Structure 1
Amino acid sequence: MRIIAGEFRGRRLAAVGKGDPGAHLRPTTDRVREALFNMLDGGRFGAPFDGTRVLDLFAGTGALGLEALSRGAAFVTFVEKGRVGQQLIRENLKILDCADRARLIGADALRLPRAEAQADLVFLDPPYGKGMGEKALTAARAAGWIAPEALIVWEESAPQVAPEGFALLEHRKYGDTTVTLLEAV
């Protein structure tokens, strides 16, 4: 895995190795990440990374949040419960020397602590088909993590319905991944 664009463009991230099947560690492929970020960066979403605070739920390796940092996000909070994922995020922050612009919360995305600041951009990449995405969004909103009009980028195996308090913007399909874009209302 590598960073696609921005400050860290071309830098390789820590090798996932065998990953963590028990924790459903399934990194977003470079190809899907590139298509996703090009779509976000080009057009109707303006400049969603410039100075933005980002929340990366079910962060895994941290690749989505790190890509946002590379493209100009001010700060990323990574939420990852799995020990393998936490270690990969720590390694990646060290590789990119950007730990001063990030925080790792080793917690379940369904049981978040109170937010110190709201996020304008939220990446949500729960284990596919387990119904955890909506619960994580509800938990994040209740704990004060989601700013009004925040953009939510939700990866799943199928299109998702907008939960209460969110408006559906669009769905995009990339191979076996469907990205549902929502806005907090």
Structure 2
Amino acid sequence: MKRQRSSRSSASRRSPDQREGNRLGKKLGKLRIIGGEFRRRQLPVLDIPGLRPTPDRVRETLFNWLGQQLDGQQVLDLFAGTGALGIEAVSRGAAWVDFVERDPRASAQLTANLALLNITASGVHIDDAQAYLTRPAKPYTLVFLDPPFHQQLAAPCCFALESNGWLTTEAMIYLETETSLTPEVPANWQLQRETQAGESTARLYQRQAP
């Protein structure tokens, strides 16, 4: 009987994050928001193979490039994963963020994290990024593009963004790829910034009218 009471007591002490991780069958890590309204908040992240959150240092560099305030920005976070980049954008004033992530478990955790922060100006789309970009478009002022490495996804997505009407005239596009790859991008995308961290290279482009 004592063991049974102890077991129930232990379960009751688990946090909502731990219970969600148990339900989805994966260990939870933590994602720290580094700036804006939700600065220093920590969010649960599922341990899913291939889920590769953008490191704190790279995110800090990116938002230094973009400016700390993103008031009014319309943002698309492709291959969203943990949603680290899109959530940072909302924290810094973005008007709306669409997250596109095909893994249902990662999408469910992202939805739960947005609810935890009471973020309503967002949409989570359980979809393949390339398939999503074939649908009717709306123009975004800022796009985060962080595809899985070594799968040759960067160039097709870049050209789909350009040719299918997903970008405003002077949209900013953040692209993170493996360092060994020199990505092909549309000719009217001008490279603004570039940095390397470990095995990844981050680039920020600005679109010019073709």
TM-score range, shorter chain: 0.7 to 0.9
Greater shift, 71-80 or 88-97, is seen at 88-97
Task: Say if 2:127 is the partner of 1:101.
Answer: no
Conserved in 1, the CA contact under 8 Å of 2:65 and 2:193?
no
| Partner AA of 1:103 in structure 2 | G
Q: How far apart, CA to CA, are the structure 2 residues paired with 1:85 and 1:164?
A: 34
Q: How does 1:46-61 map to 2 (within 5 A)?
A: 49-61=70-82
Percent of pairs with identical residues: 42
Task: Please point out which of 69, 82, 90 is paired with 2:111.
Answer: 90
Task: Please point out which of 110, 117, 136 is paired with 1:114.
Answer: 136
Q: How far apart, CA to CA, are the structure 1 residues paired with 2:161 and 2:129?
A: 8
Q: Which has the larger radius of gyration?
A: 2
Task: Please point out which of 38, 42, 45 is paired with 1:12.
Answer: 42
Q: What is aligned with 1:81?
A: 102
Listed one character per residue, the Cα deviations across residues 12-65 of structure 1 (whole Å, up to 9, x for unaligned) are 11232x22x2xx2111122221222223227xxxx5x12100010100011100
Q: How far apart, CA to CA, are the structure 2 residues paired with 1:79 and 1:86?
A: 8
Listed one character per residue, the Cα deviations across residues 47-89 of structure 1 (whole Å, up to 9, x for unaligned) are 5x12100010100011100000000110001111111221121
Instruction: Select the structure with the greater relative contact order (CA < 8 A; seq sep ≥ 6).
Output: 1
Q: How far apart, CA to CA, are the structure 2 residues paired with 1:140 and 1:61?
A: 22
Runs of 5+ unmatched residues, structure 2: 1-30
Count matched residues.
Answer: 174
| Partner AA of 2:128 in structure 1 | D
Q: What is aligned with 2:61?
A: 35
Runs of 5+ unmatched residues, structure 1: none
Query: Which aligned segments of 4 or more residues in structure 1 are displaced greater than 6 angstroms?
Result: none
Q: What is aligned with 1:132?
A: 153
Listed one character per residue, the Cα deviations across residues 111-144 of structure 1 (whole Å, up to 9, x for unaligned) are 12212x3110100000012210111122233442
Q: How has the CA–CA distance of structure 1 residues 119 and 62 changed in structure 2, closer, same or farther, with 3 Å as cutoff?
A: same
User: Which one has a larger percent helix, Structure 1 or Structure 2?
Assistant: 2
Greater shift, 136-145 or 147-156, is seen at 136-145
* RMSD (Å), alpha carbons: 1.7
Conserved in 2, the CA contact under 8 Å of 1:109 and 1:139?
no
| TM-score of the superposed pair, with normalisation by structure 1 | 0.86
Task: Please point out which of 167, 170, 194 is paired with 1:146.
Answer: 167
Once the 2 structures are TM-superposed, how far is the Cα of residue 109 of structure 1 from its aligned partner? Answer: 0.8
